Structure 1
Amino acid sequence: MSETGPERAFLGETPQLTAAEVAEQAGLPLDQARRLFRTLGFAEHGDARAYTSADVAAMRLMTQILDDGVVDLDVALNVTRGVGITMARLADWEVGELVQHVADGVPEGEPVDDAGAWVLARLGERFEGLLVYAWRRHLAAAIARMESVRALDDDPHTTDLSVGFADIVGFTALSNEVSRERIGELVEVFEARCGDVIAREQGRLIKSMGDAVLFVNDDPMAAFTTAEGIINVIGRDPRMPDVRVGLATGGVVLRMGDVFGPPVNLAARLTQVARRNRIIVDHATADLLPGDQVESRPLPARPVRGFGVVEPVAVRRA
């Protein structure tokens, strides 16, 4: 937030408040208000008048949440951090996609001082509605998953899942050989196609790292089908680079929208020993895959960083 630039148009009013005034009006100690702003990912502005009444309203919401006593400050900060990280990435994504492409379609002769403001004025409210809709749907799905885990385990943060890691083969070398535009297109197509396959098989895309995606499935066979689908839509397309997929199954910790635990690390390590457009799994996953549908072939044991000597298993459709 600043006193100049496009933020003024997006926020709907000129910033007139200091951080101290926001904190006072919201009923929060100044250091706590500053901490909340930092946790949301916003830059600090010292004593500058860089804030609006919307900032006061947001801080009052946090005050009400804390006053209810349902969560303490640490929990509130963790949730706030998740909101900040997610919204920052979404904003960058939207600006890069919408402003770049939609602004090119501004009718000739229409005065446009700021392409971003022009796009937001026409699409912002509708995308805001879409954002709330998607959040509610994902929230309902997350609660359903937690209730399912609680039926099996006392700890809702820990559960058994099949974890998949898919990455583009030779991405570093490839990025040095083609244009930035081409790399951007490859990454966009890779993530979009992987996301479609993961959703189709009832999985969850945990995160994308440009040249790789991390996903989870409740069912090992669904994870295998997901891996197979990613290879079909990426590695089998002559216009796209090859991929490798590793799968591992076991107990993972679900926190902050991410997954942690040995299966996550092992799935990533297994991609390093996989051949192009092949699926490599650990024995835990191989043992859970139906033998009449999937062929398993143990590979020679080899050292895997962080796991000692491991005997990977190559799998394919029977």
Structure 2
Amino acid sequence: MAITRALGQTMARLADWEVGALTHRVDEMHHAGPAPGDRVDTALRMLDDLSDGFEALMVYVWRRHLAAAVSRIMALDPDDDLNTTELTVGFADIVSFTALSNDLSRQRIGDLVELFESRCADVVAGQRGRVIKSIGDSVLFVNDDPIRAYDTAEGIINVIGRDSRMPDVRLGLATGGVVMRLGDVFGPPVNMAARLTAVARRNRIIVDAAMASLLPPDQFETRRLPARPVRGFGLVEPVAVRRH
């Protein structure tokens, strides 16, 4: 039942994503000049033309991700809980997204979120991490290497926060034991990373003490910030980090 539910939810989102991408392309084609038939006919023809190749691609990608997931499980200690592992969790969050969305058209908001998600995904993949999910104006990712997780956060700032056409971002990172279930992750590091994004300044990275302790002092400079109340954790001393 759990796999059936996950399959339905994943395929529903994939179908919406596919149709949304195609309709966007159809609009571009019709704005560029006369096209045979109406927009619905054009979109249906494109779906029909792509279906066979897309189905083969979908199965191929699923098999590759299945092999990667099995490899991650096999790398764990067999005496440990196979659903729990040590990871660094990161949250990337668009600054002032609510106010921003009130000033932008619906089309512009959609384009902005899509560009934000795609750029984050590229950076995460480049550092051998995984995007767990996108939550509107935020992206949740994980990496089993805290240094690569920091490089991911720095990379996201470089491709989004440093781009004058994009909004500023904030990054929160936390390390610890997380529970992996149905493609999602749970546990204190996930909650801590999310809370730290509210503490971080624009285009800055804030980490928890556990992650800071794993960063080599010859490569990184860490600075404890004043303690402040963090919902669900009491008083917390976040740590600002930068490379030497």
Which range, TM-score by smaller chain? over 0.9
Match of 1:274, SS state, is coil
Tell whether the 8 Å contact from 1:161 to 1:218 is kept in structure 2 after alignment. Answer: yes
Match of 1:205, SS state, is strand
Tell whether the 8 Å contact from 2:178 to 2:186 is kept in structure 1 after alignment. Answer: yes
Alpha-carbon distance in structure 1 between the residues aligned to 2:186 and 2:218: 31
Shift of 1:235: 0.4
- 1:227 matched to 2:179? The reply is no
Alpha-carbon distance in structure 1 between the residues aligned to 2:89 and 2:139: 11
Match of 2:123, SS state, is helix
Alpha-carbon distance in structure 1 between the residues aligned to 2:240 and 2:80: 34
Which residue of 2 is the match for residue 146 of structure 1? Answer: 73
Alpha-carbon distance in structure 2 between the residues aligned to 1:238 and 1:210: 21
Alpha-carbon distance in structure 2 between the residues aligned to 1:192 and 1:233: 11
- 1:131 matched to 2:58? The reply is yes
Q: More strand by proportion, 1 or 2?
A: 2
Which residue of 2 is the match for residue 289 of structure 1? Answer: 215
Match of 1:114, SS state, is helix
Shift of 1:240: 0.5
Which residue of 2 is the match for residue 100 of structure 1? Answer: 24
Tell whether the 8 Å contact from 1:244 to 1:271 is kept in structure 2 after alignment. Answer: yes
Aligned-pair identity (%): 67
Which residue of 2 is the match for residue 120 of structure 1? Answer: 47
Match of 1:240, SS state, is coil
- Aligned pair count reads 241
Q: Of the candidates 88, 97, 102, which is equivalent to residue 12 of structure 2?
A: 88
- 1:261 matched to 2:175? The reply is no
Shift of 1:279: 0.4
Shift of 1:317: 1.4
> Aligned pair in 2 of structure 1 residues 186, 109: CA closer, same or farther (>3 Å)?
closer
User: After superposition, where does 1:56-205 map in structure 2 within 5 Å?
Assistant: 77-102=1-26, 104-105=28-29, 110-111=36-37, 114-151=41-78, 153-205=79-131
Letter in 2 for 1:184: G
Match of 2:140, SS state, is strand
Alpha-carbon distance in structure 1 between the residues aligned to 2:124 and 2:167: 19
Tell whether the 8 Å contact from 2:89 to 2:193 is kept in structure 1 after alignment. Answer: yes
Q: Of the candidates 158, 177, 196, which is equivalent to residue 270 of structure 1?
A: 196
Alpha-carbon distance in structure 1 between the residues aligned to 2:122 and 2:35: 39
Alpha-carbon distance in structure 2 between the residues aligned to 1:295 and 1:139: 38
Tell whether the 8 Å contact from 1:245 to 1:278 is kept in structure 2 after alignment. Answer: yes
Alpha-carbon distance in structure 1 between the residues aligned to 2:171 and 2:35: 51
Letter in 1 for 2:51: G
Which residue of 2 is the match for residue 72 of structure 1? Answer: none
Letter in 2 for 1:79: I
Which residue of 1 is the match for residue 141 of structure 2? Answer: 215
For structure 2, which runs of at least 5 residues remain unmatched after alignment?
none
C-alpha distance after superposition, 1:51-80 (max 9, x if no partner): xxxxxxxxxxxxxxxxxxxxxxxxxx0001
Alpha-carbon distance in structure 1 between the residues aligned to 2:176 and 2:189: 6
Alpha-carbon distance in structure 1 between the residues aligned to 2:54 and 2:111: 23
Match of 2:118, SS state, is helix
**What TM-score do you get using the length of structure 2 for normalisation?**
0.94
Alpha-carbon distance in structure 1 between the residues aligned to 2:182 and 2:209: 28
Which residue of 1 is the match for residue 241 of structure 2? Answer: 315
Structure number with higher relative contact order (C-alpha < 8 Å, ≥ 6 residues apart): 2
Alpha-carbon distance in structure 2 between the residues aligned to 1:93 and 1:105: 19
> Aligned pair in 2 of structure 1 residues 164, 109: CA closer, same or farther (>3 Å)?
closer
Tell whether the 8 Å contact from 1:103 to 1:115 is kept in structure 2 after alignment. Answer: no
Shift of 1:150: 3.8
Match of 2:103, SS state, is coil
- 1:247 matched to 2:157? The reply is no
- 1:298 matched to 2:224? The reply is yes
Alpha-carbon distance in structure 1 between the residues aligned to 2:34 and 2:168: 43
Letter in 1 for 2:89: V
Letter in 2 for 1:147: M
Alpha-carbon distance in structure 2 between the residues aligned to 1:175 and 1:221: 33
Alpha-carbon distance in structure 2 between the residues aligned to 1:85 and 1:223: 28
